Structure 1
Amino acid sequence: MPKEQDPKAISAERLDYAEIDAPGRERTQSMEGFDPEYTDIVDYILRCTHRIWEEKNVGLIYSHYTHNCVVYLPNETLYDREEVVENTIQRIVTMPHVGMASQVIWRGDDKEGFYTSHLITTAGRHTQQGPYGAPTGRKYTIRGIADCMIFRNRIYREWLVGDSMGVIHQLGLDPMPIALAAAARIGPALPQEAGVRSRLPGQLPPPADTDTAIAHNEAEAETLRWLHRVMNQRMFGEMRAVYDPNAMYHGPQMVELSGVEAIIHQWMGVFGAIPDGSFRAEHICSVPAEEGGTKVAVRWMIEGRHGGWGLFPTLGAPTQRPVRLMGVSHYHYVDGRIVDEWTVYDEMTLLVQILAGETGADDAEST
Structure 2
Amino acid sequence: MTPHSPGLRAFGFDGPVDYIKRITYDIWNLPHRNLELIRRYYAPSTAIHLDAGDLVGDETVIANTHARLRTYPDFHGTIDDTIWTGSEEEGYRTSMRWTWTGTDTGGTTYGPATGRPVTFTAIANCIVRGEVIIEEWLGANPLAQARQLGYTLEDALEATRYPQTPRVARPAFDFTRTAEGDLVRQAFTGALDGWIESGFYAADCATAFAPDIQRDGAGAMTEWANGLRAALGPLAAEIDDQYSLQASDTLPLRVATQWRIAGTGPQGPVEFSLISHHHLVDGRVTAQWLAYDELALAHQGIALPQPATAV
- TM-score tier after normalising by the smaller chain length: 0.7 to 0.9
Distance, in Å, in 2 between the alignment partners of 1:288 and 1:169 is 35
- Give the TM-score taking structure 2 as reference length: 0.84
> Which of 221, 228, 244 does residue 270 from structure 1 map onto?
228
Q: For residue 199 of structure 1, what is the aligned residue in structure 2?
A: none
Runs of 4+ in 1 over 4 A off after TM superposition: 30-34
Distance, in Å, in 1 between the alignment partners of 2:159 and 2:151 is 14
Is residue 334 from structure 1 mapped to residue 281 from structure 2 by the alignment?
Answer: yes
Distance change >3 Å, CA 284–CA 353, structure 1 → 2: same
Distance change >3 Å, CA 137–CA 102, structure 1 → 2: same
Contact 2:77 2:99 in 1 (8 A): yes
Contact 1:190 1:353 in 2 (8 A): yes
> Which of 35, 47, 60 does residue 70 from structure 1 map onto?
47
Distance, in Å, in 2 between the alignment partners of 1:238 and 1:130 is 39
User: SS of 1:251's equivalent?
Assistant: strand
1:297: Cα distance to partner? 0.8
> Which of 164, 167, 170 does residue 148 from structure 2 map onto?
170
> Which of 284, 287, 295 does residue 348 from structure 1 map onto?
295
Q: For residue 114 of structure 2, what is the aligned residue in structure 1?
A: 136
User: SS of 2:18's equivalent?
Assistant: helix
Is residue 35 from structure 1 mapped to residue 11 from structure 2 by the alignment?
Answer: yes
Distance, in Å, in 1 between the alignment partners of 2:256 and 2:89 is 22
1:229: Cα distance to partner? 4.1
Distance change >3 Å, CA 35–CA 239, structure 1 → 2: farther
User: SS of 1:339's equivalent?
Assistant: strand
Count of residues in Structure 1 that have an aligned counterpart in Structure 2: 287
Q: For residue 252 of structure 2, what is the aligned residue in structure 1?
A: 293
Q: For residue 361 of structure 1, what is the aligned residue in structure 2?
A: none
Q: For residue 47 of structure 1, what is the aligned residue in structure 2?
A: 22
Contact 2:8 2:15 in 1 (8 A): no
Runs of 5+ consecutive residues of structure 2 not aligned to the other structure: 1-5, 168-173, 303-311
1:263: Cα distance to partner? 1.8
Relative to its length, the structure with more strand (as a share) is 2
Query: For residue 296 of structure 1, what is the amino acid of its counterpart?
Result: V
Distance, in Å, in 2 between the alignment partners of 1:177 and 1:139 is 18
Distance change >3 Å, CA 289–CA 122, structure 1 → 2: same
* Mapping of residues 40-189 of structure 1, within 5 Å: 40-54=15-29, 55-96=32-73, 97-183=75-161, 186=162, 189=164
Contact 2:105 2:115 in 1 (8 A): yes
Deviation digits for residues 16-42 of structure 1 (CA, Å, limit 9, x no counterpart): xxxxxxxxxxxxxx9446521x22211
Deviation digits for residues 172-214 of structure 1 (CA, Å, limit 9, x no counterpart): 113324323322xx45x228xx8xxxxxxxxxxxxxxxxxx73
Q: For residue 180 of structure 2, what is the aligned residue in structure 1?
A: 219
1:253: Cα distance to partner? 3.9
* Mapping of residues 231-310 of structure 1, within 5 Å: 231=192, 234=193, 236-290=194-248, 291-306=250-265
Runs of 5+ consecutive residues of structure 1 not aligned to the other structure: 1-29, 195-212, 307-318, 356-367
Contact 1:165 1:253 in 2 (8 A): no
Deviation digits for residues 119-157 of structure 1 (CA, Å, limit 9, x no counterpart): 111211111023121101011112111111101000000
Contact 2:110 2:159 in 1 (8 A): no
Distance, in Å, in 1 between the alignment partners of 2:90 and 2:68 is 32
% of aligned pairs identical?
27
Query: For residue 136 of structure 1, what is the amino acid of its counterpart?
Result: T
Contact 1:180 1:352 in 2 (8 A): no
Contact 1:126 1:138 in 2 (8 A): yes
Q: For residue 306 of structure 2, what is the aligned residue in structure 1?
A: none
CA-atom RMSD in angstroms: 2.3
Distance, in Å, in 2 between the alignment partners of 1:276 and 1:244 is 25
* Mapping of residues 317-328 of structure 1, within 5 Å: 319-328=266-275
Distance change >3 Å, CA 33–CA 103, structure 1 → 2: closer
Query: For residue 127 of structure 1, what is the amino acid of its counterpart?
Result: T
